[in-house]
Amino acid sequence: MDPFVGSTARETVERVAAQLGRSAASADVASYLDQRDTLRHLRRRFLVPRVADLPQADLSLVDGSQECIYLAGNSLGLQPERARTYLMEELDKWAKTGVHGHLGGSRPWAWAENNIEGLMADVVGAKAEEVALMNGLTVNLHLLLLSFYKPTAARHKILLEDKAFPSDHYAVESQIRLRGFDPEGSMLRLAPRPGELTLRTQDILEEIEREGDSIAVVMLSGVQYYTGQLFDMAAIAEAGQKKGCFVGFDCAHAVGNVELKLHDWGVDFACWCSYKYVNAGAGGLAGAFVHEKHGRDIKPALLGWWGHDLKTRFLMDNEMQLQPGVSGFRLSNQPVLLVCPLQASLEVFKEAGMPALRRKSLLLTGYLEYLIQHHYREDPARPHAPHVRVITPSDPRQRGCQLSLCFSVNVCRIHQELEKRGVACDMREPSVLRVAPVPLYNSFGDVHGFVQALGSALRACGAL
Ligand SMILES: *Cc1c(COP(=O)(O)O)cnc(C)c1O
């Protein structure tokens, strides 16, 4: 049987364990799954840091020569192997041909980003002409809101999460002020029910139904950065549009993580960054999406020469021939040095395909959840024993690869002890450890190793 299809992660892990005659927590289960993982060769397309190079590693606890357990792809994806080659090509071209690089070589700077927008579009489920690679995420969010948020006295609210990512919160707040409205009355913040940490789809849809007539824009994330919850973007888009709202998503944590179908879902606009699951390096070239249905009715509020039709852009006649849709939102020529690593990564996505990555991801993250519950689940019979709680939804359809862990002991200490043991994962205030096994380059062995290190870290904190 193929362990990657057809059953839940729990069933698969237990069946493999029974077949091997081992405990489900045995490293043999991880090896078995790694051997059958048809994507495992993709790890070699990325540079995995060695333990000895991690500043916090304690080499008396872990072998410095081995690859670290890198579970921080939600924060910064690993470097694609070909990023350096492509960067060197452009530096060489610059050195040897100077200004001629604009039009010459395999990656002419004047339209370098256009060459990879098709690859990006495949990852987000869009048509190439619905995607623009430009700027940073927050800049793109502002540019999009300038066009999609046109508040009136009756319809002036923006619906967002109560604990949205700070940059999104500030962007929305300042856009509301810019239009002369008061964030107090126009920022509609959706909070989970008392005692709950994630939003219920039903509650999101009911809020849209109840408040929809006064909402101009629904602006949620695709995957919530703190809890790892994946929202039902299709249902939210449908509900919002039924009430006459524009619906946009910040896909920072969704792109390259879960399968997106921005076009089919009819999402009005979206933006994302490229340095998390898309592995384009810190501050990488960000993305923007405007659905083709808005090719004519939505215009950019701000113009620059890069929004001008390429065919006549350089005639310099100062008569704007605006490209339709998102392409018209371009302002400046794009930095080719940011195109290079993004291209290197998107080529690996093309090789793998999002459906296969998601299939592996469901089992990889399910395996992580299984092992954590196996070892560290809260035991009602021992209420004071240290335990780990997964706050990410247990329904795989409501999450991507990240699990957010809460501990009954101090999370900073746990994080430090994990880093000493050669694990890279990230801690987010106030109290979670975000652990993201990325199907492109993480293995079942990484997940198993992490859970071992976690046990050792808990013991070191005096908690086990
Ligand atoms: C990572 C992230 C950002 C970062 O914004 P930049 O403009 O790339 O610095 C913004 N919003 C969300 C939801 C994020 O996850």
Which tokens sit at 204? 């999101």
Q: To test ligand 1's pocket by mutation, which of 137, 250, 275, 276 has the most ligand atoms within 8 angstroms of CB?
A: 137
Find the mean pLDDT for residues 103-108: 93
Residue 232: what pLDDT? Answer: 98
Q: How confident is the model at residue 408 (pLDDT cuts 50, 70, 90)?
A: confident
Find, among 252, 250, 249, 254, the residue nearest to 274 by Cα: 252
Instruction: Return the residue whose CA atom lies nearest to atom 10 of ligand 1.
Output: 167
Q: To test ligand 1's pocket by mutation, which of 74, 135, 138, 251 has the most ligand atoms within 8 angstroms of CB?
A: 138
**Per-residue pLDDT tens over the stretch 5-35:** 878 999 999 999 999 999 999 999 999 999 9
Residue 296: what pLDDT? Answer: 86
Tell me, in angstroms, the distance from the centre of ligand 1 to residue 217's CA.
19
CB 167 less than 6 A from any atom of ligand 1: yes
**Run of H or E residues at 47:** strand 46-47
CA distances from residue 299 to 174, 302, 359 in whole angstroms, order as listed: 20, 9, 38
Tell me, in angstroms, the distance from the centre of ligand 1 to residue 273's CA.
7
CB 373 less than 6 A from any atom of ligand 1: no
Residue 5: what pLDDT? Answer: 81
Residue 282 exposure: Cα atoms within 13 Å on the Cβ side: 0
**Nearest-angstrom CA–CA distance, 69 and 244:** 47
**Per-residue pLDDT at 464 exceeds 70:** no
- Tell me the angle at which helices 444-460 and 354-376 cross, rounded to the nearest 10 degrees: 30
Q: How confident is the model at residue 125 (pLDDT cuts 50, 70, 90)?
A: very high
CB 414 less than 6 A from any atom of ligand 1: no
> Are 388 and 371 in contact, with CB atoms under 8 Å apart?
no
* Average confidence score pLDDT of the chain: 96
**Per-residue pLDDT at 233 exceeds 70:** yes
Tell me, in angstroms, the distance from the centre of ligand 1 to residue 124's CA.
17
Instruction: Return the residue whose CA atom lies nearest to atom 1 of ligand 1.
Output: 252
Find the mean pLDDT for residues 349-373: 97
Residue 462: what pLDDT? Answer: 75
Q: What single-letter DSSP state applies at residue 411? A: H
**Per-residue pLDDT at 175 exceeds 70:** yes
**Per-residue pLDDT at 210 exceeds 80:** yes
**Per-residue pLDDT at 385 exceeds 80:** no
This prediction's pTM? 0.96
CA distances from residue 340 to 41, 159, 281, 284 in whole angstroms, order as listed: 22, 36, 10, 10
Burial of 386 (0-12, 13-18, 19+ CB in 10 A): middle
Instruction: Return the residue whose CA atom lies nearest to atom 2 of ligand 1.
Output: 252
Query: CB neighbours of 373 closer than 8 A, spacing ≥ 6?
Result: 390
Find the mean pLDDT for residues 291-314: 95
Q: Which atom of ligand 1 is nearest to the CA of 253?
A: 15
Find the mean pLDDT for residues 85-98: 98
Q: Which atom of ligand 1 is nearest to the CA of 283?
A: 8
**Per-residue pLDDT at 463 exceeds 80:** no
Tell me, in angstroms, the distance from the centre of ligand 1 to residue 334's CA.
19
Find, among 103, 101, 133, the residue nearest to 117 by Cα: 133
Tell me, in angstroms, the distance from the centre of ligand 1 to residue 252's CA.
6
